[in-house]
Structure 1
Amino acid sequence: MCAINPQTAFEDERVLTPALEKKHILVVGGGPAGMEAARVAALRGHIVTLCERSQRLGGTVFFSSLAYAENARLVEYLERQVRQLPIELKLGQLVDKELVKQLSPDEVVIATGSKRDAPAIPGAEGKNVFSGDELRKLLTGEDPAIAKKKLSITQRAMMTAGSVISVTDSAAKMRELSKLWMPLGKRVVIVGGGLVGVELAEFLVERGRIVTVLEEGEKFGVELSIVRRWRVLHTLKEHQVNLIAGVTVAAINDGSVTYSVAGEAAVVSTDSVILAVGATANHDLASQLSDLSIPLTQIGDCGGVSYIEGAMHQGHQVGREI
């Protein structure tokens, strides 16, 4: 099998055939799930409109490609396909009920990604605390309000300069710049040791940060494939990252995080905290459009967190079957 090519080992079953009836398909969300659905539907002869609320394609995978460069190749491939095919691309386009009525599609495919709510931890709203979404929007320049809320004037000036010279438009450029400067302190605590948490830890230790990862469960990076997981955990141990499992986080303070393991309290000092937890399905748009009598399909993380493999396989399936 292959995480990003759903036809691998299923070449006879997952065949792309011309659409019997040409339809207008509206795809909402320009991450891997949305781009793959748009690509396959367009190849089959459907009329496809792809709307993305930000000014770039890639979704959260563009951000994850900072930590794992191989993901950038996937985004580049999908974007190239979308731009080469007869797909109407609308960047910077927020989709709501009125727009859907205006476009009048035959079917809507929703690929808006997951929601990431801050966990109920005292201090989680602190200035030194970043959710995964906040860090993504901060580093990619998507939301100036976050920079204003979280960063000093000097840090905001650095971020603005990066945007002006188009550094934030390129994952490769951002990876190089991040080796020189990032809006995070020297000591970083990551709350959550799943896929996002361990890949962030790998990214940060390679940029000179002292990292501690606090995980509620007993294992780290369980969503990763076996070989990738072995490699990440080996790198973290080589860099002496403090991986602590079975954790209950009690509070986040200005310079520390208080937690407990098996009922025993402990404190770790930190300059910055990243919350790599809280991703859940996002049914907001589907609920908003439910009374329009237009067939709706949710794919990717908005229907249930399934990461890149789920996004690509579900995108290919809906594009193949629609």
Structure 2
Amino acid sequence: MKSGFEHLFSPIRIRQVEMKNRIVMPAISTNYAAKDGSVTQRLIDYYEARAKGGAGLIIVECGSVLCPESRINKNQIGLHHDSLIAGLAGLVDALHRHGAKVAFQLSHGGKRATSDITGLQPASPSSIPIRARVPDWPEGEMPRTLSVPEIGEIVKAFGAAAARAKQAGADAVEIHGAHSFLILEFLSPYSNLRDDEYGGTLERRTRFAREIVLDVRQRVGDLPVIFRISADEHVAGGLAIEDTKKIVRILEDAGVDVFNVSSGNHDTPEEVIPPAVYPMGFRVNLSREVKRVVNVPVIASGRINNPGLAEEILSNKDADLIVVGRGLICDPEFPNKAAQGKTDEIRRCIACNQGCIDRYRMFDEDGNGLMTCALNPAVGQENRFSIGRATQARKIMVIGGGPAGMEAAMVAASRGHEVVLLEKGNVLGGQLRLAAITKPDMANVVSYFEKELERLGVDIRLQAEANYTIVDTVKPDVVILATGAIPLIPQIEGIGNDNVVTAWDVLKGRETGEKVIMAGGGIVGCETAEFLALKGKQVTIIEKNPNIAPDLGPIRRSLLRQRLVRYGVTIMTNREIKKINTRFVVADDGREIEMDTLVLALGNQPDTEHTTQLESTLKTGGCPVYKVGDSAHSGNLLHAVHSAFHSALKC
């Protein structure tokens, strides 16, 4: 079957290694390894799912070349000792079984290898700490300056790690020279203030990287050597594309076979891990520029989450290979589905970062990493929570067509159950449709669910209010309540005034006056405030907590705050509204704040108005009932999808 993606699914040969397609899974930290850096079965299962899904090359995450001094994560995979080779070989064998080629990334964290992980003071070319521009993003501790003999030992450590990767059966190695890891710290005038042979001019700043490439090349022979580089750090005085074009020519001459083009450093994390406000393929201009000056393949990256865009980049000769990072976390079968022309079945990453980035440094009580995906609850639990056929087909009724209801219906139908989905509105999607007004990627989630439910044969009944009559007619074996939430309305004097509306009302098209007060600075309140500010409204956010959008990760929260300030939104924290008048509100400090419209965004509560009695009746009759998503308790998209997934697996 022709997919229409001829470039994306054409093979490519690099030295003696031929990859079956141009799709590259990049190194993304998981914290799924053991504390000593050894490979775990969980890590193998995670990567094997992506190999089985059709990725051409998998670059295994951030392997430490020294222990403990180069490590940035508690459960970071290691390449620092010969005792680790057997486990690495087992991982390689598992991925090779599915036709994927495997590279190990060689890394030294530099100033990012902080004492809470290593027990040591971090080291860097110069004693300059990380200068985080993102509020709540950790500032770095002061690193010590590396001596010249120490630099030589680190070069040898990279070479030794590369040799271990080769002994484990790897098809290639990648040298991590991006994102404020040690090599980039040497390359960049932003972090390298040395005046010896490793600092000053561009050639001297490149010396460390060049020596590593030469040593690695000598150790791995004909194995392809990939170099990941931040082509533009996006900081004043940092590495920019014109200098990068000179650096890559030096490194190509030293023996680099492929350049993996990234951007950003630890002080610009939004460039490293772009949230949804970044456009698709936002780094392609950088890969294009690098490709113009080298004679080796170049990898493009940066929110390339659909095969059409990947094909366009390749056909335009802006790159030779394509990174699909979070997209492969979200849907391991991305390559296979694209190759078969089943693009509608790809579950596309929406760059929400709720599961992958915001949680990758969270751990359970046993020390296991909790990195996951908001839309793919099986991440990190691939063998434990695979969707298999149920031993006995049952009739499942799902009440509510928001994200939790759609996920529950999809999983239940995938297991072979007969599924009836009731939705009281005239469309599916629930809060996702409202979210799509300010975050267009959310529309892809709704579209994906709709098409999957149709493909799986789910009986969807719109404008269907759940009651005992319809339940008695369907006679389900199990009922899943996914009725979602309704806005929380506080008991404040004046709350019933005509000029008081909810954020949901506004997103559905309700007009406001010119002066708007947003009661609540959570995610919904801030994004609705931005929506109104873009329409020219004068918006003031009043939030009782010290920070706005506390449930957002630090990168997304910082960018959201920057946009609000840019659009003229006034932010008042540590304040509450105590009284509402027709022309102003009274804050808890007694201040009167003028407004034409008050918009409520104070959170949600489960919508149980029409289901409490039904739930009781069903349980009394012996019918199992599961509550999922906001029907159980208010939460984010990850909560909605994960709770629905796990409940549907029980059916």
Q: TM-score range, shorter-chain basis?
A: 0.7 to 0.9
2:574 paired with 1:246: yes
Distance across 2 between alignment mates of 1:310 and 1:287:
25
Q: What letter is aligned with 2:480?
A: V
1:95, CA displacement in angstroms?
0.3
1:21 corresponds to: 392
Distance across 2 between alignment mates of 1:218 and 1:97:
46
Q: 1:274 aligns with which of 599, 618, 624?
A: 599
Q: What letter is aligned with 2:483?
A: T
Distance across 2 between alignment mates of 1:194 and 1:80:
31
Distance across 1 between alignment mates of 2:385 and 2:554:
26
Distance across 1 between alignment mates of 2:458 and 2:570:
47
1:300 corresponds to: 629
1:133, CA displacement in angstroms?
4.2
Q: What letter is aligned with 1:119?
A: P
1:127, CA displacement in angstroms?
1.1
1:83 corresponds to: 454
Distance across 2 between alignment mates of 1:23 and 1:112:
21
| Residues 25 and 107, structure 1, Cα contact 8 Å, conserved in 2 | yes
1:129 corresponds to: 500
SS at match of 1:90: strand
- The runs of at least 4 aligned residues of structure 1 exceeding 3 Å deviation read 132-136
2:191 paired with 1:191: no
2:541 corresponds to: 213
SS at match of 2:444: helix
2:616 corresponds to: 290
Distance across 2 between alignment mates of 1:98 and 1:246:
49
1:298, CA displacement in angstroms?
0.3
SS at match of 2:617: coil
1:10, CA displacement in angstroms?
2.2
| Residues 33 and 111, structure 1, Cα contact 8 Å, conserved in 2 | yes
Q: What letter is aligned with 1:235?
A: R
Asked which structure has the greater CA Rg, the reply is 2
* CA offset digits 1:49-71 (Å, max 9, x no partner): 00000001100121121122221
Distance across 2 between alignment mates of 1:286 and 1:251:
32
Q: What letter is aligned with 1:280?
A: Q
* CA offset digits 1:183-241 (Å, max 9, x no partner): 11222111011111111112111221111011112221012233222211111122231
Distance across 2 between alignment mates of 1:42 and 1:288:
23
Distance across 2 between alignment mates of 1:315 and 1:119:
29
Percent of aligned pairs with the same amino acid: 30
**How many positions carry a matched residue from both structures?**
276
Distance across 2 between alignment mates of 1:79 and 1:135:
25
1:286, CA displacement in angstroms?
4.0
Distance across 1 between alignment mates of 2:386 and 2:624:
23
Deviates more, 1:101-110 or 1:244-253: 244-253
| Aligned pairs (5 A) from 1:1-322 | 1-136=372-507, 138-139=508-509, 183-260=511-588, 264-284=589-609, 285-292=611-618, 293=621, 294-322=623-651
1:297, CA displacement in angstroms?
0.3
Q: What letter is aligned with 1:204?
A: L
| Residues 506 and 512, structure 2, Cα contact 8 Å, conserved in 1 | no
1:248, CA displacement in angstroms?
2.1
Q: What letter is aligned with 2:595?
A: T
Distance across 2 between alignment mates of 1:287 and 1:50:
19
| Residues 503 and 525, structure 2, Cα contact 8 Å, conserved in 1 | no
1:152 corresponds to: none
1:104, CA displacement in angstroms?
0.7
Give the TM-score normalised by structure 2: 0.41
1:113, CA displacement in angstroms?
0.6
| Residues 582 and 596, structure 2, Cα contact 8 Å, conserved in 1 | yes
1:109, CA displacement in angstroms?
0.2
SS at match of 1:214: strand
Distance across 1 between alignment mates of 2:374 and 2:557:
15
Higher relative contact order (CA 8 A, sep 6+): 1
| Residues 283 and 303, structure 1, Cα contact 8 Å, conserved in 2 | no
Distance across 1 between alignment mates of 2:479 and 2:549:
33
| Residues 483 and 608, structure 2, Cα contact 8 Å, conserved in 1 | no
* CA offset digits 1:71-111 (Å, max 9, x no partner): 11111111121122210000000001222112110000000
Distance across 1 between alignment mates of 2:386 and 2:650:
10
Distance across 2 between alignment mates of 1:206 and 1:195:
17
| Residues 184 and 271, structure 1, Cα contact 8 Å, conserved in 2 | yes
Q: Cα RMSD over matched residues?
A: 1.6
1:278, CA displacement in angstroms?
4.5
Distance across 2 between alignment mates of 1:312 and 1:280:
17
Distance across 2 between alignment mates of 1:62 and 1:28:
18
| Residues 114 and 279, structure 1, Cα contact 8 Å, conserved in 2 | yes
| Residues 115 and 302, structure 1, Cα contact 8 Å, conserved in 2 | no
Distance across 2 between alignment mates of 1:208 and 1:311:
33
* CA offset digits 1:129-175 (Å, max 9, x no partner): 10234445x53xxxxxxxxxxxxxxxxxxxxxxxxxxxxxxxxxxxx
Distance across 1 between alignment mates of 2:406 and 2:553:
23
Deviates more, 1:184-193 or 1:274-283: 274-283
| Residues 97 and 289, structure 1, Cα contact 8 Å, conserved in 2 | no
Give the TM-score normalised by structure 1: 0.81
Larger helix percent: 1
| Residues 286 and 296, structure 1, Cα contact 8 Å, conserved in 2 | no
